[in-house]
Amino acid sequence: MIDNLITALGAEFVQLSLTPIVIGTLAAIACALPGNFLLLRRQALIGDAISHVVLPGIVVAFLVTGTITAVPMMLGAGAAAIIAVVMIEIVKRLGRVEPGAAMGLVFTTLFAAGVLFLEITDTSSVHIDVQHALLGNLESLIWFDAEGWGSLLDPAALATLPPQLPRLAVVLVGIGLCIFLFWKELKISTFDAAFAGAIGIRTRVLGFALVVATAVAAVAAFDAVGSIIVIAMFVCPPASARLMTNQLARQVGWSVVFATISAILGYVLAGYGPGWFGSPYAVSAAGMIATVSGVILILTCLFGPQRKRVGQQAEA
């Protein structure tokens, strides 16, 4: 038993599974953190919209620069996210259309444009394609130079970590820091925008900053894990957390816990689960992480201590 565990967590694990698990966890938490506030502001689907819009941004960035390096990709995706937010606003104002329909119109159109660009240009030779955009390639983010747990202390080996890992770590620290610094303002403006405005908090700026943070998290996570995890992590862990507690700080804490469980358990089930059924193949880690977050949500819907609405009669 112990031997099995040691083999399971041995050098091969460090090389093949450790980095994807860490990257998946970082991505999940980076998305879940702003997701808490989006959820409470009834903007849960902004994350969905932004992650669809990232695709055309990346394709256009590739067409302009001709490279698939990280910086232009992230700039392109970020620009596309901002364009989408502005377009949603324009459609809402111009047509006096309700937000949901405006959002649906904009993100499907931009996504369609992104797919069209992909198909009619030569990008298919590069490794961006629609499947990659949806699924990411978490499984392939392996740490070639790792020779065991000792490599964690070896600077030469650490230098060959997949670049997504430090990138996501930086983004996660940035988002966490922003939420920590603006905690009071975020909290007040989320629960009572009018009061927040009255005491001098610039709610519109704060709301926009939240969308930007969402976009940054989506873009950083996108390359590594694809858009499915991004969309699922924006909504599911915060939603489950919301059913656990009535306090914002605890909710954020729970969402981090749920995001971590989803990422780790999802990856393990995808990588090792089929083996338990005698299949030599792994299944999609991104899809499995989303699935686990859904199972957690169902469990909290059934058993979460704060699952019922308060201040309102439960419906018959």
Partner 1 sequence: MGFGDYFISALFLQAGYNSALVAIGAGLLGLSAGSAGAFIFLRKRALVSDAISHATLPGVGLAFIIMVAFGSDGRWLPGLILGSAISSAIGLLMVEWITRKTRLTEDAAIGAVLSVFFGFGIVLLTVIQTMSSGRQAGLENFLLGSTAGMLISEATTIAVAGAMAAGFVFLLRRPMTLVAFDPEYAATTGVNVRNIDLAMMGLALIVTVIGLKIVGLILIVALLIIPPVAARFWTNQVGKMIGIAAVIGGLSGYVGAVLSAAHAALPTGPIIVLVAFGFFMISALFSPLRGGLASALRHQRFQLRVHRRQGLLSLARREPIYDGLTIRILRRAGMIRADGVATARGRIAAEKAAHDEARWAMARRMLPDDSTIERYDGLTPIERMMTPDQIAEIDRMIQNAQTTQGAKA
Q: Which residues bind partner 1 (CB under 8 A)?
A: 39, 42-45, 47-48, 52, 91, 94-98, 100-105, 108-109, 111-113, 115-116, 119-120, 130-131, 134-135, 228-229, 231-232, 234-236, 239, 242-243, 270, 274, 279, 281-284, 286-291, 293-294, 297, 301, 304, 306-310, 315
- Please state the closest distance from residue 19 (CB atom) to partner 1, in A: 20
Task: Spell out the alpha helix ranges (H) of 96-202.
Answer: 99-120, 130-135, 155-158, 164-181, 183-191, 193-198
- Please state the closest distance from residue 265 (CB atom) to partner 1, in A: 13
CB atoms within 10 A of CB 41: 16
Which residue's entry shows tokens 């880690």? 285
Which is nearest to 136 in space by CA: 64, 223, 249, 34? 223
Please identify, using beta-carbon distances, which residue of 65 and 109 lies nearer to partner 1: 109
Please identify, using beta-carbon distances, which residue of 14 and 38 lies nearer to partner 1: 38
- Please state the closest distance from residue 57 (CB atom) to partner 1, in A: 16
User: How far is the C-alpha of 32 from the C-alpha of 242, rounded, in Å?
Assistant: 12
Which is nearest to 252 in space by CA: 261, 266, 239, 265? 239
Please identify, using beta-carbon distances, which residue of 14 and 39 lies nearer to partner 1: 39
User: How far is the C-alpha of 33 from the C-alpha of 93, rounded, in Å?
Assistant: 30
- Please state the closest distance from residue 69 (CB atom) to partner 1, in A: 26
- Coil/strand/helix, residue 154: coil
User: How far is the C-alpha of 301 from the C-alpha of 157, rounded, in Å?
Assistant: 44
- Please state the closest distance from residue 133 (CB atom) to partner 1, in A: 10
Please identify, using beta-carbon distances, which residue of 91 and 213 lies nearer to partner 1: 91
Please identify, using beta-carbon distances, which residue of 14 and 223 lies nearer to partner 1: 223
